[in-house]
Structure 1
Amino acid sequence: MRIASLRFGLTIAAVLVIQIAFFLYWHGDKVKQYAFPESGVINATFANFHLEYEIVTNFSADRCKGKQLFIFVMTTVKFFAQRDVIRRTWASKNHTADALVVFIVGKDEKEENMKLMREENERYGDIIETTIPDVYNYTALKIHAGYYLHTKYCFDVPFVLRADDDVIVLPDRFVHFIKAGFFNNTGKAIYGIIWTEGKPVRDPSHKWYIPPEYYKPDTFPPYVNGPAYLMTRLAPKAILEKTKETTFFWIEDVMFTGIMANSTGVKLIDANGIFKSTIPHCLLSQTTAPNQSMLHTPTTPLSPIGFEHLDNNDQTVVSTNPPVTYQTNAFSSHFQLPRPSSRQLLTGPPNGHPSTPPESQNTTSNASNSDGSPSPKKKGVISKFFASARTLAPVVAIGTAVLKLGEYLADGSDPIGDISNGVNDVIDWATS
C-alpha cells in the first residue's frame, strides 16, 4: 500500500510540476511578445524638446501578423470625411489583404470632436488616438507615434508606409512590388521622391523661417518628400534611437528622413517612378499606369468624385484629386488648420517644405548600406515544440489526474489518505 501511495503522490507531484512549467512558459512568452504596454506614457525626447504622450487606443501586435505592409496615415481628429473616403476606396478590404492601415490622430481642443472620433473608432477600430496636441506643428510627434507603433508592436512587418490623408495609395500594388523583390528589406532604407539642395529660410518675416538655433547649416541634407514614403522595418527604429541627439523643428520630413536618416546610416532611394506628385494624363483617360503606387497633389482638395471616377479600374493609380473635368470641392473646409502664434516654440510653415523642389532627383546614400543588419531571431525546434504542445498541457495534466483519481476510487482506496501518505513518504525519503 505504501508503494502505491508513494507512486500516486509522485504522479500528482509530477503532473503539478509539468503544469507549472507550461504555465510559466506560456505566460513568460506572452511577456516577451508584449514587452511594451498596449497603452502608456511614451517619451519623445529631442535635444531641445521633450514631450510625454500616450497612445490611448489599445493596440495588439496580433493585428500585424502575416502583414507585408504597415501603413499609418497622418490625419486630424476632425477630418471625418477624409477617413471615410479612404476606407471606402484604397484602404478597403479589397486592397488591404496583406496590409494594415491605421490613422494617427492627436487630441482636439473640442470635446465634441473627440467624442465623435471615438464613436467612429468603435465602429471601425482603425484609429490610433494619442494625447499629442492635434495641430500642424506637432505633426512630427504623430509621426514619432507611427514609428513607435511599428517598432514596438509590428516589427516583423517588413515595410512601413507613412502617408498624409490627401494621398492615395495602392496597398496591393505595393505588396506586389514587395513580393516581387523590388524593394530590399534587409537594410535601413527609405524609398520616395528625394529632394536635394534645400535651403532653410532665414528671413524672420517669412512663414517658413527657421532660426539658426534650430538648424545652423545653410543647406539641408537630401531628404524624402513628406506626403508619403516607404521605409524598411529597420529604418524607423534607427531614427527613433537618434532623436535625443537631434534638434526638433517643425519640418518633419527634413528632420526624420534627412537629418536623422543621415546620422543613422539610412539609405535614401529615389522611387519617383512609383511616387507621383501630379496627376498623370493616363488617369484622365483612365488608361493603366502599372508602375505607380502613390499619388499626391496637395493643391487640390480631396473629392469623392475623384475616387469614384478612378477607383473602378484595378490597374489604375487612384488620386485623391478629381480629374480636371470635375470641380468638386466638397471637403476643402476640412483642410485648413489654424496657424499657431509665431510666439510658440513650434511655429512653422503650413506645408512643411522650405524650398522649391530640386531640378534633379537622384538616388543618394547617406551612409554605407547596412544590409548586414541582423534579422529577427527565429524560434528553435524546442521552442516550436513547446509552442505547439503548451495548449495541450492543461488537458493532459487534468486528464492524467482524473484517470488516476478514477483508478483509485475504483479500487476502493482512499485517495486523500494516499496522497498524504505519499507526500510524507517523499519527505521521509528526501530527508533520510
Structure 2
Amino acid sequence: MPVGLIALALGGFGIGLTEFVIMGLLPEVAADFRVTEASAGWFISGYALAVVVGALGLTAAVSRFRRKPVLAMLLVLFIAGNLLSAVAPDYWAMMAGRVVAALAHGAFFGIGAVVAAGMVPATKKAAAIAMMFTGLTAANVLGVPLGTLLGQAAGWRSTFWAITGIGVLALAGILALVPKAGNDDTASGGLRGELRAFRSGQVWLSILVTILGYGGMFGAFTYIAFTLTEVSGFAASTVPWLLIVFGVGLFIGNTLGGRAADRDVDRTLLAVLSVLVVVLVVFALSAGNQVLTVGSLLLLGGFGFATVPGLQMRVMKYAAKAPTLASGANIGAFNVGNALGAWLGGVTITAGLGYTSPIWAGAAITLLGLAVMAGAAARAKATARRVPAPDMTAASAAVASPTAASPSGLETEAAGSGQAETADVGPVSVR
C-alpha cells in the first residue's frame, strides 16, 4: 500500500479520537465547567450534528479546489478546533472548539476516501479506503482508553493537547507523503458536476443502505453498557475492557471487509449484512450468558464495521464521474445512521422493553437495510445486462492514466457495474 495512506490513517486516528474520547471524560469536563452531565453531553451531540453539516456543506464548498490542499486545510481546521477545546475558558468556547473540529470530520473522510482510492489500482480501492478507516478503528481500540487515562491522570485538557499534536503530525504527513499526481485534481465540473452524481438512483440507494446497515449496529451498541451490566451481569469496571473486545472486532472487520469488497462490493455487503442480522438476533437471545456475550461483542464489531469500506466504495462507484460530494454525503449518512439507531434504541427502552430491546431494534433496522441492498444489487445487475460491454482498449488506457479518465480513477471499474445509472435521465432514475 502507498505510504500516503499512513498519513490519511493518522488523520483518521486523530479525528476518531476527537469524536469518541470525550465520552470517557464527560465527568471531568462537566465538573470543570460546572454544568450538568446532560449539558456536557451536548459536546457529543453538537459534534455529531456538525459532522453532517461539514460532510455536505463544507465538501460542496471546496469541490472546485484541488484535493490534497483541501485535505491539508481540513486538518488545519481540525487542529484549530482541538486547540480551542484545550484552552477553552468556558462551556461555549469548548462547544465552539468541538463544532470547528467536527466540521473537518465528514469532509476529511469523504475527500480522503476519494484520494485513497486514487492511489491504488482498481482491484485494491476498497482495501485502500479500509486502510484510511483503520485510523478510526485504532482510535476506538487504543486511542480512547489511553486518551481517557491521560485525561484522568493529567487533566482532560491534556488529552486535547495530545490530539492537537496528532493533528500536526497528520498535516505534515499529508503534505509530505500524499502524492500530487492523480490525487490533488479538482472535482469534475465543480459543484454542478458533483451534484449531477445524485441523479443516480444507485447513489441514493447506497446512502440509504449506509443509514440502515450502520444504524442497526450503532443502535445496538449505544446502550451496550446497560446490556452488559443489567442483563449479562458484568461489573461496571469490566465494561471498558469489554469495549476493547468490540474495538478489536472493528479492526478485523474493517480490514477483511475492505479486501472482500474489492472482489465484489454487492455480494460482500449482502453477505455481511445477512450475518450481522443473525449476530444481533443471537446476541439479543443470549445476552444473559457472559461467554456468548463476549463472542457477540467481537462479532458485532467485526461484521458491523466490515460494511464500512464496501458502503463507501459503492457510493463512489456509482458516482464515479464526480465522487467527492457523494462520498462526503455518505460519511454524513453514517452519522444519520448513528442518530437513528440511538434514537430507536432509546424509544424501546423508554417503552419498558428492557435492555436487550435496542439489540432487537438494531436487528430490525439492519434487516431493512439488507432488503434495500438486495433490491439495489438486483437493479444494478439488471442494468449491467442491458449495458454494452465496455471498450477494453479504452479501459486499459484509462487504468494506465487514471487522471485522464476521472478525478478518482474509478470510472473504469464502474463501467462494468451499471454506471449507466449516472446518465442524464431526469431528476432521479433507479434502474
On whether the aligned pair clears a TM of 0.5, the verdict is no
- Between 1 and 2, higher relative CO (CA 8 Å, sep ≥ 6) is seen in 2
CA radius of gyration, larger in: 1
More helix by percentage: 2
More strand by percentage: 1
